[in-house]
Structure 1
Amino acid sequence: MMPHALYRLGRYAARRPLTVIGTWLVLAGIVLAAAGLFGQKLDNSTAVPGLDSQRATDLLTSAGANQGGLTAQVVLTPRDQGTTFTTSGEARTALAGVQAEAAKLPKVLAAAPATISPDGKVAIIRLQYPVIEELSGADRDNLQTFVKQAAEGSPLRIETGGDLAVAFDEGETGVGEVIGLVVAALVLLVAFGSVIAMGLPIGLALFGIGLGTSSLALLTYLIDVPTWAPVVGSMVGLGVGIDYALLLVTRHREYLAQGLPVEESVGRAVATAGQSVMIAGGTVVVAILGLAVAGVPFLTAGGISVSIIVLIMVIASLTLLPAFLGLAGHWINRIGFGNRRTTQTSGGWQRWGQHVSRHAKAYAAGTAVVLIALAAPALDLRVGTPDEGTLPQQRTERQAYDLVAQGFGPGANGPLVIAVDTSADPNVVQPLRAAIAADPGIAAVAEPAVTAGVATLIAYPTTGPQDDTTLETIRRLRADVFPTVLGESRAKAHIGGATAGAADVGERVADRLPLFIGAVVLLSFLLLTVVFRSILVPLKAALMNLLGIGASFGVMVMVFQWGWGAELIGVEAPLPILPFIPLFMFAILFGLSMDYEVFLLSRVREEYLESGDNQASVMRGIAVTGRVITSAALIMIAVFSGFILGSNPTAKMFGLGLAVAVLVDATIVRLVLVPATMKLLGKANWWLPGWLDRLLPAIDLHGANAFVAPAPQAEVPVPVGQLTR
């Protein structure tokens, strides 16, 4: 039923292009207008119910304690290196003036008295802000503007950092994405040799991104859309949008080359390649929605947001693109240069497949070793949230971070906010403070502040926020110190703050990652079993997908954690991998790898059903799909690599990881390891127990069942023949 429905959909869009295009434009206009008039701002909340750090935040907030929100630090030091705050009256006067003015900034709840370092060279003014849900990037901008103005003509050098700066640091983007799109356009132009054929995938992807990201401002009425969702959604949407359009345009041009009318050609392209688009896009959506198993609300909301953008790309590919193909008619092949090839078959890829087949054992072993070597560093993957210490040296946040570390020690940049519910036993506060201060991982503990039965203890670790020793200190306080001091008391203590919160989210993600990976792999196995009627093909694909994705994780560890070549992409210090990136990347890459897998193996399966010759079918599949897979991969690599050039560390990690994964999947895995292993397995590739074959639903992706298109009144019905992508 799916091929018939898609065929009719494609023919209708090609026959009524202005109606379809007009409908899309009206819909886009409504969404854009509604987003502009009624759209709400995106959310920066990282709240995760059930975590100890979240309990601390909730306890402080419910008691009305200021420490439940974000903090900012104004860090000051005399410009004259020979003076200190203890010896210079001018420096102390300037410090007092800055503190008085900083307390008047919008949203500032309190400005703590300035703390001066033991050597007298560094002073910190800590500003307390509300919880992140009540703040925006404008509050960070107000603080940074104030600091710049206060530093003009002052005897003090003034920098600013803290939680507020990190929470709203979105980096600079734009140039890299444009470069990626230009490279993608050049690849399409070379692949198609036609300006129109090149422009349609690019235009479709940009239209879908604009509509999808605009709709997120309206989605906020249903869920709290995180601020990073548009960046990730744009990255994924551009890649899949161009990829899906490339496949449909390629198939349409092949049918035109066979002499079919435009409407018929579009209908068949949607009926064949459209099925693969639906399966690949649906798989991406389902996999990303699977992020809900992590139990992290902002990850679930981000997954829903990105899934909506991907879904828009799929629907636009199956409706809007066919309308433009119908409107373009035969002009799709007339404006261009050189040899405008309209067939996928390539003698070069045929020879490559034969070469791999002749040396199947060597290629299978060699590529497996390469993939394992690339994936091995992933065992050292460490999740966390980058702090100001990882920013470029010229940033004010990095300057503030370094000054604080020099004056007060590295732990001063990541204080632990300990919330103690003393309503049942107020006498536990001082013994608890003494026990915390006695811990070897704690440098100092500030005097407690009590508000509505809740005491707040600010503890400063001896090590920095990203140091593993700090995480061990947090675990030790929770597991040993608190139970020992509190004993049978009904008082409860929880550790919050940015450092503890990032550690807790990282541990939650690490705990749920195996479950998520297992679910995704099982889904891929079941889907491929249904599509290709085989046990070994899905099993082999699952293992190869794991190796390919593991290789991308390994490269990320080498670059961001170990620093290999990090300076080439603008990373000046080692970074932990953001907690949600492994989950998101696995979901996205699973869908993308399924795209190439279905594309290649559907053609191999079709050839095998016709000839029964396993080796010949593999060679034919490589020859027919090699050029399109390579072109699609180059486009995705260009798009993803463009995000590496920005200053946003999240975008850099996603861009590098996705680009490497697509490169590995489309070359080492899909065009080397797959044909080599299929040659070695022979006819066992297509073995399926009879009882299981009868239980599985049938999906006519590879053309086992041809259909005849319904005939218009003045036309002779034409068989659609073997359905391939």
Structure 2
Amino acid sequence: MATFLYRLGRLSFRERRFVALLWVAILAACAFAAAKAPAAPDDDLMLPGTESQQAFDLLDQRFPGSSSDGAEARIVFVAPDGQKITASSNKSAVEKIVTEVGDGRQVKSAIDPFTTPGAVSKDGTTAYATVTYKEKSADLTDATKDALKDTVHDGKGTGLTVNIGGSALEPEPELGGVTEIIGLAVAAVVLVVTFGALAAAGLPLLTAIVGIAVGVASVIAIGMSSTTTTLALMLGLAVGIDYALFIVSRYRSERALGHSAEDAVGRAVGTAGSAVTFAGLTVIIALAGLSVVGIPVLTKMGLAAAGTVLIAIVLALTLLPALLGFFQNAVLPRRQRKGEELSEKDSGERAGKPNMGTRWASFVTRRPLAVLLFSVIGLGVISIPTFSIELGMPGDESQPTSTTQRRAYDALADGFGPGFNGPLTVVIDAKGVAGPKAAAKQAATDLAKTDGVVSVSPAMFNKAGDTALLSVVPTTAPTSTQTKDLIHTIRGEAPGLESETGAKMLVTSTTAVNIDMSEKLTDALLPYLAVIVGLAVLLLMVVFRSVLVPLKAALGFLFSVGGAFGALVAVFQWGWLADLIGVEQTGPIVSMMPIFLIGVVFGLAMDYEVFLVTRIREAYVHGERPRQAIVTGFRHSARVVTAAAVIMIAVFAGFIGMHESFIKMIGLGLASAVFFDAFVVRMTLVPAVLALLDDRAWKLPKWLNRILPDVDIEGEKLTRSLEADSEASASEAEPARV
């Protein structure tokens, strides 16, 4: 591997103009494809294999054309205190507002609440009108949305309280924000401080920007959603900077040792590039592994992000060496740029001069057990909130109370009961049944007697008369445990109905989908962990020629995940420091967040494991004692790993400022996970455990050593080969000088 990458690096260096033009052409082609691509479809929440999805599929077959792809708005009217919404003046005001909204060019229908059964509350204080549109929310014009928003002001003029729920006023998707620009600025500052040269700082930023431009354009070109694109942007930017950072740092080290620019590029790509390749593969494995969960939207997110990471790897191995060819000396420290030779005393890497990394590693290796216990206990305390985690899908109830969507939700709950915001759709499949109407009537009777049910609507049959729909309103809110229990209770009654009437009963709705998703994700968690951990441990065995080091790496990430989930629960669920990051309303953690965060954090955790431990093993392979190898590894890599972690934290933290709750959670979760993993687990727990294991850390059974391929990630074979070539060249030149 190291030899192949060495040659690739030198080839890219020599053919730098061709490589640069090739990437410009690739970027232009991807941008053109993205510009010509149609608008991305919404991410329909498909859950193959669940009862909710079976019911939706059955509805599409038996009620063709009944579902609308257009946006929907629910206008909620509340009468002034002491009045009824049915009073003549209030009724006239409501009808006028509904008529005006219904005249919109993009409006498909606007239903008067006074002509709709059940649209006026029993106490007569609240009513709602349903407005459906011909277009999706993203395609509604500003004029259409403004007309809808004006109803709130029109209602105030008549004394009514008017608020709007539904999908019509969903915020526009975001690809970035002001805080993300701040994150990039922080990354630039860290790079300048780390390298002390603008060119050295600029190259990682340039390659990362090219990487995310190609990656995001590709994602848009193939028609993926804004959430998927945002995730690709987030991870592509973070790993793109980090991967280039490690190779540039190694290039500068090789130049300090006296190697020519071309040879230094080859050596940097052969050694640091090998670490980048294997670190990136662990991230790709973790992201692509999301496909085993069986939820299409999660699969798309994982594959899109994995593709962007792959692009970042290829860029680091090809475009970066080419750019180093254009800036051979500009990326070097100032003294080297001026042509001054670094003495043994000046060169910390050559003379072994202590730095912050060596001092920290020496401290940890002197007291490994105490450091290990302190770190484990500290992360354990931070992880305590994880045991209180509540999962769900955010709805209008999770919106800030200042929004019209949240006020509409609360008004409906007050007027019609908390369960009105989450009605259940019960599908009666009576195909082939002798008496389909009798079966539907029996189902409605049984449902009405079920504890936790407020009301059951009359059955609505399809044209064929073999399938009926029932709307069931629970007594409790959509996110409550009682509603979840009610769904399971109704599903438990289905076999009894089938035995009595022959008809099948299926339960679906947004609430049921959320519950099925949580259960599906929980069931998939262990298989997913088995896949990604198994593959990553095998990959790390190949890299480190060890059994204990990969196992330690896999276990260490559990602490990082625990700390990240502790932070998420404390902020988004408990409300700690919520105002600081703009969380106006606390609520449950998004259902897909655990498995998604575990996958991404595992990949990123292995990144730092590879970058740090590779240098430790390199020192050990070259003959140093285990504890001294730890100190040597930290001397070479601690500063760069620290810079990489700060950059990644800054990039992820930049997404906390975005509007969408899920993206905000991802940003905080990944930023806190990288912090815990880089500074507590990898920089503290790892050297402590390696010091305690001593030589045992690097043992590999002989039979396993024969099976596993030797990829030479430390570049030991490459170094021997280059030294042999150098000696051979010197011996051939000696007679000529004589």
The answer, yes or no, to whether TM exceeds 0.5 is: yes
Distance 1:688 1:335, change over 3 A: closer
The answer for the alignment partner of 1:723 in structure 2 is none
Correspondence 1:427 to 2:427: no
Counterparts of 1:605 and 1:372 in 2: how far apart (Å)? 29
User: Which deviates more, 624-633 or 225-234?
Assistant: 225-234
* Per-residue CA distance 1:329-382 (angstroms, 9 max, x = gap): 202237899999997675222111111122111111111112222334333333
Counterpart of 2:332, as a letter, is N
Report SS of the residue matched to 1:333.
coil
Per-residue deviation, 1:537? 1.3
Structure-2 residue corresponding to 1:159: 163
Larger deviation, residues 550-559 vs 99-108: 99-108
Q: Does the CA-based 8 Å contact 1:636-1:662 persist in structure 2?
A: yes
Give 1:240-319 correspondences, 5 Å limit: 240-319=239-318
Report the CA distance between 1:442 and its aligned residue. Answer: 1.8
Partner amino acid for 2:381?
A
**Alignment partner of 1:443 is 2:454:** yes
Letter in 2 for 1:121: T
Aligned to 1:349: 357
- Give the partner amino acid of 1:43: D
Partner of 1:34: 33
Conservation of the 8 A alpha-carbon contact between 2:401 and 2:585: no
Which residue of 219, 223, 226 corresponds with 1:216? 219
Structure 1 distance, partners of 2:176, 2:126, is 34
Secondary structure of 1:674's aligned partner: helix
Which residue of 2 is the match for residue 229 of structure 1? 228
| Cα displacement string for residues 680-708 of structure 1 (whole angstroms, at most 9, x for unaligned residues) | 12221122221221121112012332343
Instruction: Determine whether 1:116 maps to 2:115.
Output: no
Unaligned runs of 5+ in 2: 732-738
Q: Deviations over 1:524-564 (max 9, x none)?
A: 22122222122211221111112222221222122222322
**Structure 2 counterparts to residues 64-463 of structure 1, below 5 A:** 64=63, 68-69=67-68, 72-78=72-78, 80-87=80-87, 89-102=88-101, 106=106, 108=108, 111=111, 113=113, 114=116, 115-127=119-131, 135-139=136-140, 144-154=145-155, 155=158, 156-162=160-166, 170=173, 173-220=176-223, 225-333=224-332, 347-423=355-431, 424=433, 425-452=436-463, 453=465, 454-463=467-476
Q: State the alpha-carbon separation in 2 of the partners of residues 335 and 58 from structure 1.
A: 66
Whether the aligned pair in 1 keeps the contact of 2:250 and 2:272 (CA below 8 Å) is yes
Q: Any idea what SS the aligned residue of 2:659 has?
A: coil
Identify which range, 502-511 or 454-463, moves more after superposition: 454-463
1:617 paired residue number: 629
Q: Deviation at 1:65?
A: 6.2
What residue in structure 2 maps to residue 721 of structure 1?
A: none
1:489 — aligned with what? 501
| Matched AA of 1:138 | D
The residue type paired with residue 654 of structure 1 is I
- Greater shift, 434-443 or 660-669, is seen at 434-443
- Residue 599 of structure 1: CA displacement? 1.5
Counterpart of 2:77 in structure 1: which amino acid? T
Distance 2:628 2:24 in 1: 47
**Paired residues, number:** 706
1:557 aligned partner: 569
In 1, Cα distance between equivalents of 2:10 and 2:610: 24
8 Å contact 2:195–2:333 — kept in the other structure?
A: no
- Is the 8 Å Cα contact of residues 200 and 330 (structure 2) preserved in structure 1? no
Contact 2:571/2:578, CA 8 A, preserved across alignment: yes
Q: Separation in 2 of the partners of 1:258 and 1:112?
A: 81
Query: Could you tell which deviates more after superposition, 147-156 or 666-675?
Result: 147-156
Deviations 1:496-545 (A, max 9, x none): 22111111112111110111112222222212222212221122111111
Equivalents in 1 of 2:49, 2:360: separation in Å? 54
Choose 561-570 or 492-501, whichever is displaced more: 561-570
Question: Distance in 2 between the 1:8 and 1:428 partners?
Answer: 74
Shift of 1:29: 0.9
The 3 A distance-change label for structure 1 pair 343 and 74 is farther
In the other structure, the counterpart of 1:474 is 487
The aligned amino acid for 1:195 is L
CA distance in 1, matches of 2:124, 2:407: 18
Report the AA paired with residue 477 of structure 1.
Answer: I
**1:722: which partner in 2?**
none
Report the secondary structure of 1:487's partner residue.
helix
CA-atom RMSD, angstroms?
A: 2.9
Q: Is the 8 A contact 1:383 1:577 kept in 2?
A: yes
Between 63-72 and 142-151, report the one with greater CA deviation. Answer: 63-72
CA, structure 1 residues 519+78, in 2 after alignment: closer, same or farther (shift >3 Å)?
closer
How far apart are the structure 2 equivalents of 1:60 and 1:335?
A: 70
Aligned mates of 2:503, 2:309 — CA distance in 1: 48
Instruction: Measure, in 1, the Cα distance between the counterparts of 2:166 and 2:631.
Output: 58
| CA deviation after TM superposition for structure 1 residue 32, in Å | 0.9
Counterparts in 2 of 1:398 and 1:329: CA distance versus 1, 3 Å: same
Could you tell me how far apart the structure 1 residues matched to 2:154 and 2:550 are? 69
- Within 1, Cα distance between the matches of 2:154 and 2:138? 27
Deviations 1:266-318 (A, max 9, x none): 12111111111111112211221111110112211221111111111111111
- Segment drifting more, 262-271 vs 659-668: 262-271
Counting aligned pairs with the same residue, the percent is 37
Cα 1:552–1:520 change in 2 (3 A) is: same
CA distance 1:500–1:551, shift in 2 (3 Å): same
- Show the counterpart of 1:504: 516
Report the Cα offset of residue 712 of structure 1.
Answer: 12
Amino acid at match of 2:233: S
- After superposition, the C-alpha distances for 1:568-593 in whole angstroms (9 at most, x for unaligned) are 22223322222322222222212211
Q: Is the 8 A contact 1:44 1:227 kept in 2?
A: no
Q: Cα offset for 1:485? A: 3.3
Higher mean C-alpha displacement, 571-580 vs 204-213: 571-580
Q: For residue 179 of structure 1, what is the amino acid of its counterpart?
A: I
Alignment-derived partner of residue 626 in structure 1? 638
Structure 1 residues not aligned, in runs of 5+: 719-725
Instruction: Work out whether residues 12 and 318 of structure 2, in 8 Å CA contact, stay in contact via their aligned partners in 1.
Output: yes
Shift of 1:112: 7.0
Q: Letter of the aligned partner of 1:161 in structure 2? A: G
Contact 1:42-1:227 at 8 Å conserved across structures? no
- Write the letter of the residue equivalent to 2:669: G
Is contact 1:254–1:342 with CA below 8 Å preserved after alignment?
Answer: no
- Which residue among 580, 585, 594 is the counterpart of 2:597? 585
TM-superposed deviation, 1:40: 4.5
In 1, Cα distance between the equivalents of 2:103 and 2:61? 25
TM-fit CA distance, 1:5: 2.1
TM-score, normalised with respect to structure 2 = 0.90
Distance 2:143 2:496 in 1: 44
Q: Match of 2:47, as an amino acid?
A: V
Distance (whole Å) between structure 1 residues aligned to residue 173 and residue 506 of structure 2: 30
Indicate conservation of the 8 Å contact 2:188/2:201, yes or no.
yes
The whole-number CA distance in structure 1 between the counterparts of 2:205 and 2:68 is 43
Q: Are 1:73 and 1:124, in contact at CA under 8 Å, matched by a contact in 2?
A: no
SS of the counterpart of 2:22?
helix
Report which stretch shifted further, 8-17 or 362-371.
8-17
- CA separation in 2, counterparts of 1:501 and 1:141? 31
Q: Check the 8 A contact 2:427/2:468 in 1, yes or no.
A: yes
| SS of residue in 2 equivalent to 1:679 | helix
Asked if the contact 1:637/1:659 (under 8 Å) is kept, the reply is yes
Secondary structure of 1:605 counterpart? helix
**Contact 1:505/1:579 (CA < 8 Å) preserved in 2?**
yes
Counterpart of 1:45, as a letter, is: D
For the pair 1:688 / 2:700, whether they are aligned, the reply is: yes
